[in-house]
Structure 1
Amino acid sequence: MFAWWQILLLTLYAGYQIMDELHWYTSAGSAVFAGMISGLVMGDLTTGLYIGGSMQLTILGVGTFGGASRIDANSGTIMATAFAVGAGMDPEQALAAIGVPVAAILVYTDIAGRFANTFFGHMCDADVEKMNWGAYNVHYWLGAVSWMLSRMVPVFLALAFGQPLVEAVTTALNGDLAWLGKGLTVAGGCLPAVGFAILLRYLPVKKHIAFLLLGFVIAALMGTLFSGVGALSGNIAAVNGALAEPVEGLAGVISNMSMLTIALIGFALSLIYYKNNQRPVAAAAVEEDDDDEL
């Protein structure tokens, strides 16, 4: 079972994160931050950051417009992290089996919070007409409480009473339903890619394909660089330890860089140069057409 103070802290944070997202904007109302806080409370920061980061990538391309409700990724991250650590679930399984479904179900509590908020909003309008500022302040804050309760109540109920159910599900996924558990693990690993795909669907990729290629290649190069620095530090440690056998180091990592990387960089730069030079030509052609008409 979860400790009472863990349930209390996670419940309070569930209420805080929605108010931060709506009002204070300190970035504490994001899936990554939710994973970090949940991981600290549960005593496993690594798992919390992994689930929070994966959930953030999953919803990367999901947006809302106007008063539209959306999946509650932050509460889903809190639940997935808590049960992954508390019940010993695989983080990817927890993300796919708990995090995403909970985030989708809490759309309905989000709608309930919006309805209650509208009710208190009308009361605030009436208070303004009567110039009853004391009642206005009370109704204003009651509207904020309705938003917080829309997250706090589901998180509290799940953490307080859902542990036996999650433990039973975990046992089944690791036992007779191991095939399903492996499938959920694969699905959890694919979710960030789905988020990227949704994001790319809305971005003007065709117009800025060169910058997309450069960003991808630079990110890959940074990974190579960091790996090389790690290998170099390992070599230094080996020298200090006077090991008999040499260890492959930075040169080995850099030499593995394929010609495809260099080709992609060259292609991206050439495409940028081509597009930049096409604009003056097109503008000059338009001016010539105008001169001919005159």
Structure 2
Amino acid sequence: MGIEWWQILLLTLYAGYQICDELTINSSAGSAVFAGFISGLIMGDMKTGLMIGGAMQLTVLGVGTFGGSSRIDANSGTVLATAFSIGLGMNKELAISSIAVPVAALLIQTDILARFTNTFFAHRIDKHIEDHNYRAIERNYLLGALPWALSRALPVFLALTFGGGLVNTVVEYMNNELSWLATGLETAGAVLPAVGFAILLRYLPVKKHFPYLILGFVVTAILATVYGDVSAVGGAVSGLSEEFAHNFAGLPMLGIALIGFGIAAAEYNRSMNKPATAGGTSNTAVEEDTTQSIDDMKGEILDDEL
């Protein structure tokens, strides 16, 4: 199939926009799953794009950027993996493990370069603040978006323009002479989302809310089994009657999401309405409870808890 010039142009423009959206607008267009959606839409296979984007989203699910730290650029990795997977007929799992993840890790360097470059505009803004030159402050603030956009757009453009032939050659060689390696990379690509979940669970307050974790696992298993059986029965019935054409595939996730939302809302209301500590409680008791709480929650991020 190949990748057309207009597809390269649109993917490059999106790669430059997504980082600016992630830093300022926060409309979710700077997420891996959205990158998969846009890339798949441009390449003509939205399903493949969403599957690659969803896998990369789960891979970085528990990874955050705290302060000025950098993390792997899952969005740009998703763009390239989707483009090469659809354009060159590459296996999705292989594209994730051999393109998306290495590219995402490599672009940490361009992220750092963008941060360093922006100090130039920051110093200019400091100078204009002293001079009360508000137009210049606004202009340099907007110019600061250029290093960020180029840090993603330029690597994506170069990879799509000059890397297609190389990637195609490598894929053909791996599928033939190195089929064992390709199989291993496909397996690794399928396992990566589980790594994201593991990282997320490491930093969530699981010890405090472990009953909800158990309940969520049981509810998920029950609904998946029940609706799986219902879907199988529906498929058998649809083979007997053309009028029966119901699709139950999306019901398990919808039910799980609604149950999770209900439990989260109940927990939020409970924490907001928690009665104040009765007067007369000794400072020693409070200190002991605090120490015990810190020991129990060691290693968990509690900043966003009420």
TM-score category by the smaller chain?
0.7 to 0.9
Equivalent in the alignment of 1:65: 66
Residue identity in the other structure for 1:38: S
- Determine if the alignment matches structure 1 residue 159 to structure 2 residue 160: yes
Per the TM alignment, residue 232 of structure 1 is displaced from its structure 2 partner at its CA by: 4.1
Residue identity in the other structure for 2:4: A
- In structure 2, the gaps of 5 or more residues are 249-277, 286-306
Write out aligned runs for 1:83-162 (5 A).
Answer: 83-162=84-163
Per the TM alignment, residue 88 of structure 1 is displaced from its structure 2 partner at its CA by: 1.1
Per the TM alignment, residue 235 of structure 1 is displaced from its structure 2 partner at its CA by: 4.0
Equivalent in the alignment of 2:36: 35
Number of aligned pairs?
248
Per the TM alignment, residue 233 of structure 1 is displaced from its structure 2 partner at its CA by: 3.0
Per the TM alignment, residue 200 of structure 1 is displaced from its structure 2 partner at its CA by: 1.3
Query: 1:241 and 1:28, CA in 2 relative to 1: closer, same or farther beyond 3 A?
Result: closer
Separation of aligned partners in 2, 1:159 and 1:169: 15
Q: What is the SS of the residue equivalent to 2:176?
A: coil
Separation of aligned partners in 2, 1:118 and 1:222: 52
Residue identity in the other structure for 1:104: A
- Provide TM-score, normalisation by structure 1: 0.79
Separation of aligned partners in 1, 2:35 and 2:222: 30
Equivalent in the alignment of 1:210: 211
Residue identity in the other structure for 1:240: S
Separation of aligned partners in 2, 1:109 and 1:81: 21
Separation of aligned partners in 1, 2:7 and 2:178: 30
- Provide TM-score, normalisation by structure 2: 0.76
Separation of aligned partners in 1, 2:217 and 2:3: 41
Equivalent in the alignment of 1:15: 16
Separation of aligned partners in 2, 1:216 and 1:84: 33
Identity %: 60
Equivalent in the alignment of 2:79: 78
Separation of aligned partners in 2, 1:226 and 1:19: 41
Separation of aligned partners in 2, 1:12 and 1:220: 42
Separation of aligned partners in 2, 1:14 and 1:226: 39
Separation of aligned partners in 1, 2:223 and 2:122: 50
Query: 1:241 and 1:144, CA in 2 relative to 1: closer, same or farther beyond 3 A?
Result: closer
Query: 1:239 and 1:75, CA in 2 relative to 1: closer, same or farther beyond 3 A?
Result: same
Per the TM alignment, residue 137 of structure 1 is displaced from its structure 2 partner at its CA by: 2.4
Separation of aligned partners in 1, 2:137 and 2:167: 43
Separation of aligned partners in 2, 1:241 and 1:153: 52
Residue identity in the other structure for 2:87: G
Per the TM alignment, residue 224 of structure 1 is displaced from its structure 2 partner at its CA by: 2.5
- Determine if the alignment matches structure 1 residue 168 to structure 2 residue 169: yes
Separation of aligned partners in 2, 1:241 and 1:104: 50
Separation of aligned partners in 2, 1:181 and 1:39: 23
Query: 1:119 and 1:230, CA in 2 relative to 1: closer, same or farther beyond 3 A?
Result: same
RMSD between aligned alpha carbons?
2.2
Residue identity in the other structure for 2:241: N
CA deviations over 1:207-253 (Å, ceiling 9, x no partner): 322211111222223323432442343244234259xxxxxxx9xxx
- In structure 1, the gaps of 5 or more residues are 243-249, 251-282
Separation of aligned partners in 2, 1:124 and 1:229: 63
Separation of aligned partners in 2, 1:45 and 1:8: 18
Equivalent in the alignment of 1:233: 234
CA deviations over 1:246-278 (Å, ceiling 9, x no partner): xxxx9xxxxxxxxxxxxxxxxxxxxxxxxxxxx
Residue identity in the other structure for 2:25: W
Equivalent in the alignment of 2:197: 196
Q: Report runs of 4+ in structure 1 exceeding 3 Å deviation.
A: none
Separation of aligned partners in 1, 2:205 and 2:137: 45
CA deviations over 1:102-130 (Å, ceiling 9, x no partner): 00000000011111112111111211211
Residue identity in the other structure for 1:127: H
CA deviations over 1:15-71 (Å, ceiling 9, x no partner): 111111111111111000001111111111111111101001111111121001111
102-111 vs 116-125, which deviates more?
Answer: 116-125
Separation of aligned partners in 2, 1:105 and 1:15: 16
Asked which structure has the greater CA Rg, the reply is 1
Per the TM alignment, residue 136 of structure 1 is displaced from its structure 2 partner at its CA by: 2.1
